[in-house]
Every structure is written in C-alpha cells, then in structure tokens.
C-alpha cells in the first residue's frame, strides 16, 4: 500500500513555466537526434523527461538516523521503435530500497537484481506515448560502525559535535547529496547515466530553522505547522543525475545578482552564519568576486547558461568542490578560495550545460574547468597565469612519475579523477590555443557550446568542432595528446657556420610516442633574442636558420607553450643568470610577411606600464594591442589581420622613457 499521501506533496510548476521547460527538453532531444552522442543510449529503451523527487529528512536531521523516506516520480518516453513494457532503473540495494511502485492508482510489479530495478508497466507504451511511474522508497541507515563517514555514500549527514576521522569536529549539523560519478542510485532510484539528461523538481522536508538549497529556482517554502518546513525547487534545464543535489543546514544566505545578456541572474552564497561576513567582504573571493567571474566567463564562452548560480559551503566534505547544476557544493575550507570557486563556476558551462557523454570523456569536464580557472587568473595577471600553468605541469609530471601513465581519454579504472584529467587536460587546451590562435580557440569554444548546449558531447564531437572552426585536420594533435600517453622530452644542440645556424632537436622520452609540435627556438646574441619556429615531429631533426649574428645560446620553447620536459634548461634560471635579454626588446614578428595571423614577442626588463600599438604607414593608430601594468619577462601578442588592408604597418612598444618599433608586412 502507499504511505500517507501528505508526506509526498510535490511542487507543480505553472502551466507556462512547465510548458517552456518541456519545450526546452524536446528541442534538446531533437537537436541531438535522440542523444546519439552516447554509446550507452543505443540500448536504452526509454528517455527520462522529468524527475519529481520528494525527500523527508526530518528524522535524519533530528535523531541521527542517517536514513530517510522518499518518493520519486519519473516521467519518460519510449526511445526505441519497439513496444515498451518495462523500465530498468539503477538503485544500490546496500543504500536504497524501493518499497512499492505505482502508475496512478495501479500497483506495479518490481524486481531487483544486481543493482537494477525492473518496473513492469501496466500496459505497453509506443513511440509518442508518455509514461509516469511513482516509486516509494527509503534510504537505509548504514549504522555507525566503524564510522558514519566511511559507510555513507550518495547521501551524507553529519551532526554537530561529531568527530569524523581526518576532519575537524563538526561545527553544525548538515546533510547533503554527492553523486559523481555514479552514486545518485544510492539516494534516489533513477537512470544513472550522464547521457540521459532530464528536468527535475526536488522537494525536501526539514526541521524548522534548516535551509535547503537545490538545483534551479526556489518555487516556494511551506511551513507544515508541525515544526517542519518543505522547500520546493525546480530545474527547468536538462540535468544529469550526477549533477542533481540537495543540501540542508542552518545556512545564512548571502544574495546578489548579475545582469548578463539582458537577464538578471540571482547569485547566492549558502554559508554557515559565522562565515556570512566573509562571504560579503572576503579578500579572496566574496560574492562580488563571483559576480565578476560570471561576467568574465560570459564574455569568453557566451552568456551564463542558467537562471541562477549558488554555492553551499559545507563540512565535512571529501572533495574540494562539486559542480552541481546551478548550486555548487564547496568544501567549507575552500569556499572563499578563488581558484576552487572559479573552477566550479566554469563547470556550469563545461560539465553542466555541455555534459560529457560517457565517463571516458571526463577530461571534457575537468580539463576545461581547470583551464578556465587559469584563464580567470590570466584575466587579472599574465604572471599569475604562467605560474598556474607551471604548477599544473609540475603536478602532472609528479603523478606521471609516481603512478600509472595513462591517456586522458578513457582513463583506466581508479584514474577517472587522476591529476592528468585536470592538469594535462588544461595544458591540452592551452597548447591548442597557442597552435590555432585566440580568435579560432574562442570560436571553437563558442561553437562547441552552440552545438551541444544543454546536451551531451564526447571527445570526437569536440575534435570535429576544432577541425571545423580551425579549418584544418587536428587529428594528429588529439591522437598524441588526448588518446596518447605521456609528453615529449626534448634535448638540443646547435652549431653555427658563418650565417647558418643549425639546431638539432631530439625527442628522448620513453613509454610514449613521438610528438609532432610547433616549437619556438630562442636564439640569444648578447642581450638580444631572435625567435624562430620549427615543426618537430621525429626522433631527431636538424633545423637550419639564417642568423648573421653570433649565437651565444639557444633555448627551446622560451615562452613555455608545450607540456614538455627539457633537461638542463630552466628558462627562469636562464634569465636570472643573465643569459636572457635584460633590456626592453621588441622582437621581429613571425611570420613576416604574414597573412591571417602573426606573433609579436617582446621582453619587459622591469615590471611597469607597457603600451603596444599598431600604426599604418601614414602614422594613424590602427589598434592598441596592449596597455597596462605588465610583469617583467617575455610577453606575446597575436595580431589578426582581420579587416586590415595589405601593406606595411609599424608596431610600437612604449615603456617609461623608452620606445622601440618594428615593421610588419601584411600580404593578402
């Protein structure tokens, strides 16, 4: 029989809002041609349209029971051209038990085996039909020995004053869900695959004084008159099960908003009351900082994709953060850490709006968010960006040297969240950006968004977008950096005879294939550097350059553009030891003459104001390429011919008390 009906009140969206959401998911499914991007979908007999979820957490939050009762309503449609007489759902019997199933008032037969729940329908459904199944279930109390933390999975609850191994004493009672990659089945019956995105409504009953945060917008809060309240949330954009969540604590809510693309988007920090002042005025990352980050990411990736963004700061939490759609969960230890906050925010584009099609494609989530984190630093400081990329490289090299070497696509078991997925993934995007240039790179990201927004994508989808936008075959790049393992290790030697400089580059890596990469070669003569570029692709290659001056030293990849190891060469040490340029130097652009794009490299001796401008032959300023405070060291600007006419241009570098210029020749 059904439990009492009053427990299972579900929110109802307005007719207009509900129809808009259903239209959105219908368009999403039509756009993806039935989710063809995910191999898992080919054998899946139905698509979920909406999850209607109710959870009663009152007892769990009041008496340390760790479990709860719930109801899941699933609206679905057949996805194959055969009659549908049953649906299979994921549920982990160690944590979740389904008590009964109904279609309207009709009780349905269920069978549970090997973590799968088969629900037999009361009648067959055909293409164009819609089915609704209500499942009444409970999450099992895992007990308290040896410790609640080690036994909890999917649904986590901690009590004020509790001591959890390796964590500080719990400062206040908190409950939350955490599912990535496949633990949603531990707290709700569902089709637990990232490829099947659906709308969702989540309602949670809690003791008065607790605040519940969840996906989408808060439709209403009801005082039940019995010392409890129910919070009703609805997400009207498709969401994968691993990105659905609910979090409850005695939160203080700090609110702001940001206008993007003509929409006013609420921004919310759910924090413990003692953290509320820092949420408003943190030197590291206040809510104002989050607003500025949303504007920055919107400027490079397109408008923020949802109707709200929020964060909950909780402890204990086993992870740094989790990008639940529209409501990221942040470890309280890092809730005001700029990098962690930027990372989870970037996931709203890459992971939530465009979701990986299979777990083999995890780098599409984590590599993209990690590189976005670095670019958010670059927006403020090029030096911080370069330091961050060096940090990513060092962490990846450390993992690679101490653990299994593996490709970032389809990582082996146990490495789905390995450092390579984050840090090598970020470097892959950085190298792609350097190869194709900023204009094409950000064009790729926007095209990737537009082609797969609110749906799923796999690695080959991203590769196709790269080829289309860059108008070249980049399969060699994906083969070596994404499907292949490791990284190049370069050694070099050089000899000069007259005005011919011969530079020999060798790749000496082991347990990794050879890499084909454009590599910069910096040649120093006195305090000046001349930059050459070669395409290195074999075990050993010799490149010859015309170089009239005498070469004092040769440096490979002086701007650190390749995820590589070059034994015996540290560009920072080279500069500090006086072998690099010490003056303000504007190097000749490369290529020159150019058609399309050219690179201008310059060296700043001391941190300060720098202006780089482009003038035509008549002395008219065409473009300001850089203006502002810059750190000492090498800097690079890419000049896009765009609407410029063929002819001679002058690039002028101006610093306090100094000015130097070069000529650029554009031939269209």
pLDDT tens digits, residue range 255-299? 999 999 999 999 999 999 999 999 998 777 889 999 999 999 999
Residue (of 141, 234, 227, 226) closest to 186 by Cα position: 141
The model's confidence at residue 21, banded by pLDDT at 50, 70 and 90, is low
The model's confidence at residue 15, banded by pLDDT at 50, 70 and 90, is very low
Cβ 200 vs Cβ 324: under 8 Å: no
Domain boundaries, the chain: 5-250, 356-481, 487-577, 583-668
Taking the CA atoms of 421, 425, 426 and 427 in sequence, report the sign of the dihedral they define.
Answer: positive
Higher pLDDT, 235 or 527: 235
Domains 5-250 and 356-481 agree in fold: no
Q: Tens digits of per-residue pLDDT, 44-86?
A: 899 999 999 999 999 999 987 789 999 999 999 998 888 999 9
CATH number of 583-668: 2.60.40.1930
CATH number of 356-481: 1.10.390.10
Query: Residue 23: its pLDDT value, please?
Result: 56
Q: Lowest-pLDDT range, 121-130, 576-585, 588-597?
A: 576-585
The model's confidence at residue 34, banded by pLDDT at 50, 70 and 90, is very low
Q: Is 459 helix (H, G, I), strand (E, B) or coil?
A: helix
Backbone φ and ψ for 402, nearest 5 degrees, come out as: -110, -15
Query: Residue 579: its pLDDT value, please?
Result: 43
Exposed, middle or buried: residue 42 (CB in 10 Å: 0-12, 13-18, 19+)?
Answer: exposed
Tell me the C-alpha distance between 377 and 387, whole Å: 10
Query: Residue 453: its pLDDT value, please?
Result: 97
The model's confidence at residue 2, banded by pLDDT at 50, 70 and 90, is very low
For domain 487-577, give the fold.
Immunoglobulin-like (2.60.40)
H helical segments located in 152-203: none
Rounded to the nearest angstrom, the gap between the alpha carbon of residue 578 and the centroid of all alpha carbons in its chain is 40
Give the mean model confidence (pLDDT) for residues 214-242. Answer: 98
Tell me the C-alpha distance between 79 and 82, whole Å: 9
Contacts of 493 (CB under 8 A, 6+ apart): 503, 504
- pLDDT above 60: residue 410: yes
Query: Residue 143: its pLDDT value, please?
Result: 63
CATH entry 3.40.50.2300 includes domain 5-250? no
Tell me the C-alpha distance between 357 and 630, whole Å: 41
Q: Tens digits of per-residue pLDDT, 290-311?
A: 999 999 999 999 999 999 999 9
């Amino acid at each position: 029989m059904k439990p009492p009906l009053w427990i299972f009140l579900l929110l109802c969206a307005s007719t207009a809002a509900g129809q808009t959401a259903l239209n959105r998911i219908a368009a999403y499914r039509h756009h993806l041609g039935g989710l063809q991007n995910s191999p898992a979908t080919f054998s899946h007999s139905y698509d979920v349209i909406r999850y209607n979820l109710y959870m009663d957490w009152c007892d769990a939050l009041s008496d340390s029971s760790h479990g709860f009762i719930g109801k899941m309503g699933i609206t679905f449609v057949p996805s194959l051209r055969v009659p549908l007489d049953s649906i299979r759902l994921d549920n982990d019997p160690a944590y979740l038990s389904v008590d009964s199933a109904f279609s309207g008032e009709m009780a349905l037969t269920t069978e549970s085996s090997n973590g799968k729940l088969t629900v037999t329908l009361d009648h067959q459904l055909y293409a164009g039909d819609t089915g609704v199944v209500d499942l009444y279930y409970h999450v099992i109390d895992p007990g308290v020995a040896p410790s609640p933390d080690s036994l909890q999975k999917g649904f986590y609850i901690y009590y004020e004053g509790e001591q959890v191994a390796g964590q500080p004493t719990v400062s206040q009672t908190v409950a939350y869900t955490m599912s990535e990659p496949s633990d949603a089945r531990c707290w709700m019956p569902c089709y637990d695959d990232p490829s099947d995105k659906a709308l969702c409504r989540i309602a949670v009953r809690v003791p008065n004084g607790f605040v519940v945060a969840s996906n989408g917008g808060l439709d209403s809060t009801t005082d039940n008159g019995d010392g409890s309240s129910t919070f009703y949330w609805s997400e009207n954009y498709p969401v994968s099960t691993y990105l659905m969540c609910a979090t409850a604590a005695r939160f203080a809510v700090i609110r702001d908003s940001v206008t993007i693309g003509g929409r006013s988007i609420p921004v919310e920090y759910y924090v413990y009351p003692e953290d509320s002042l820092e949420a408003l005025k943190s030197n590291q990352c206040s809510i104002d900082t989050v607003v500025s980050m949303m504007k920055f990411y919107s400027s490079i990736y397109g408008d923020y994709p949802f109707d709200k963004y929020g964060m909950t700061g909780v402890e204990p939490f086993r992870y740094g953060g989790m990008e639940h759609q529209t409501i990221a969960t942040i470890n309280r230890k890092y809730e005001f850490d700029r990098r962690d906050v930027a990372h989870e925010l970037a996931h709203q584009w890459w992971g939530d709006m465009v979701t990986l099609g299979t777990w083999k494609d995890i780098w599409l989530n984590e590599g993209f968010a990690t590189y976005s984190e670095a670019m958010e630093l670059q927006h403020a400081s090029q030096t911080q960006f370069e330091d961050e990329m060096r940090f990513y490289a060092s962490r990846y090299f450390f993992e690679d040297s101490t653990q299994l070497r593996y490709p970032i696509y389809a990582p082996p078991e146990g490495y789905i969240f390995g450092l390579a997925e984050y840090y090598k993934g970020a470097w892959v995007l950085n190298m792609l950006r350097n190869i194709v240039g900023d204009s094409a790179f950000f064009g790729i990201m926007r095209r990737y968004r537009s082609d797969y927004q609110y749906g799923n994508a796999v690695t080959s989808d991203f590769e196709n977008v790269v080829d289309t936008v860059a108008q070249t075959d980049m399969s060699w790049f994906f083969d070596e950096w994404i499907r292949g393992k490791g990284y190049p290790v370069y050694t070099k030697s050089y000899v000069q005879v007259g005005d011919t400089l011969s530079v020999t580059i060798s790749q000496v890596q082991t347990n990794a294939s050879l890499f084909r990469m454009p590599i910069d070669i910096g040649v120093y003569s006195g305090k000046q550097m001349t930059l050459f570029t070669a395409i290195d692709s074999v075990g050993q290659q010799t490149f010859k350059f015309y170089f009239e001056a005498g070469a004092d030293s040769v440096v490979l990849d002086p701007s650190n553009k390749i995820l590589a190891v070059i034994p015996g060469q540290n560009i920072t040490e080279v500069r500090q030891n006086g072998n690099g340029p010490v003056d303000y130097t504007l190097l000749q652009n490369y290529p020159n003459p150019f058609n399309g794009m050219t690179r201008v490299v310059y060296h700043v001796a001391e941190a300060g104001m720098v202006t780089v401008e482009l003038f035509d032959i008549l002395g008219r300023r065409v473009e300001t390429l850089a203006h502002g405070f810059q750190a000492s060291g090498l800097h690079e600007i890419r000049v896009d011919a765009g609407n410029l006419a063929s002819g001679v241009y002058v690039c002028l570098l101006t610093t306090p008390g100094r000015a130097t210029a070069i000529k650029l020749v554009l031939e269209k």
